[in-house]
Amino acid sequence: MNGRTALVTGGSRGIGRAVVLRFEELGARVLAPSRAEMDLADPASVRAYLETLETTPDILVNDAGVNPLARVVDVRDDALDEVLGVNLRAPFQLCRALAPGMAERGYGRIVNVSSVWSVVARQGRGAYAMSKAAVNALTRVLAVEVAGTGVLVNAIAPGFIETELTRQNNSPADLDAVVAVLPVGRLGRPEEVADLIAFLCSERNGYTTGQVVVCDGGYTCL
C-alpha cells in the first residue's frame, strides 16, 4: 500500500482501529476522521468533510456503525433513522462521492463492513440487520457498475469479534454460550478482520469484487 491513501470510518476503536494500524504498517497514508470532523449521522457533515479532501483516496473502508438493541416492534422511528443514517446512508454518500474519482484514475478499492446479522437472524437486531443487508446490496450493485475501471468493491461480514460493541451487546454468559458452539472455539480478533480487509484493499487483489465475505469462525455453518 505504499503511496496509497485510505479513508477509514470508525477508525478510533475495534475493527476500524485495527484496519488503520494495519494499513499504516503496509505504508498507506490513512485518513480516519473523528466524529467532530465527520458526523456520519449528519449528511451535511459528510458532504462538508468530502469537500476538504484535496484528492480522491485510493481506498475507502466504511467501518463505522451503530447497533442499538430492540425488538422490531419496539424500534422507534428516531432510532431507525439513526441506524440507517450511520450504517447505510453515510457509506452510500462516501461511495457515491469517491467511486467516480477512483474509476477516472483507474484504481480503487472499497470495502464495506457489514455483519453476520445480514446473513442470519438474531432477535433484537432488526434495524441493524436491515441496514447491513442493504449495505450488501449496495456493495454488489456498485461493484457491477464500476467493473472494468480498476475499482473493486467488496463487503466483510464479521461474526463475534472481540470488540467493545460485542461486549456491549452481549452479556458474559451470552458470549460464553457462543464460544461453546463456535467451531473455532473462540471469538475473532479485530486484527484478523483487518488482515482480510487489507488483502481486499491491496493490489494483490485484482479479481475479487462484489462479494460479501463472512468472517465468523464458522458460526453460519452451524
CATH code at position 199: 3.40.50.720
The number of folded domains in the chain is: 1
By CB neighbour count within 10 A (0-12 exposed, 13-18 middle, 19+ buried), where does 15 fall?
A: buried
Catalytic residue among 107, 128, 207, 219: 128
Report if residue 27 sits inside a domain. Answer: yes
Predicted local confidence at residue 165, as pLDDT: 86
Helix axes 126-145, 77-84, angle to 10 degrees: 30
User: How far is the C-alpha of 101 from the C-alpha of 99, rounded, in Å?
Assistant: 6
Q: For 34-52, what is each residue's pLDDT tens digit? A: 999 999 999 999 999 999 9
Mean pLDDT check: name the lowest of 166-170, 174-178, 213-217: 166-170
Q: What is the mean pLDDT of the chain?
A: 97
pLDDT confidence of residue 62: 98
What's the confidence (pLDDT) of residue 177?
95
222 inside domain: no
Q: Is the torsion defined by CA of 212, 179, 21, 84 positive or negative? A: positive
Q: Specify the residue for cell string 449528511.
A: 43
Q: Is residue 88 one of the residues assigned to a domain?
A: yes
Reduce the secondary structure of 118-163 to three states and give it as a string.
HCCCCCCEHHHHHHHHHHHHHHHHHHHHCCCCCEEEEEEEECCECC
More confident residue, 164 or 101: 101
Can you tell me the mean pLDDT for 179-184?
96
CA-to-CA dists, residue 200 to 32, 92, 208, angstroms: 19, 19, 8
120 inside domain: yes
**Whether 114 contacts 136, CB under 8 Å:** yes
Structure-block grid coordinates of residue 57: 483516496
Q: What is the pLDDT of residue 102?
A: 98
Q: How confident is the model at residue 77 (pLDDT cuts 50, 70, 90)?
A: very high
**What residue numbers bound the domain in which 33 lies?**
5-161+190-217
The residue-averaged pLDDT of 180-190 equals: 97
> Residue 113's beta-bridge partner residues?
156
180 domain residue, yes or no: no
Tens-place pLDDT, residues 112-123? 999 999 999 999
pLDDT at position 36:
97
Could you tell me what percent of the chain has a pLDDT over 90? 97
Known catalytic membership, residue 107: no
Quote the Cα angle for 170-174-178, to 5°: 110
pLDDT score at 57: 98
The helix or strand, by DSSP H or E, that contains position 213, with its residue range, turns out to be strand 212-215
Query: Does 119 reside within a domain?
Result: yes
Residue recorded with cell 457491477: 144
Q: How many CB atoms are closer than 10 A to CB 38?
A: 22
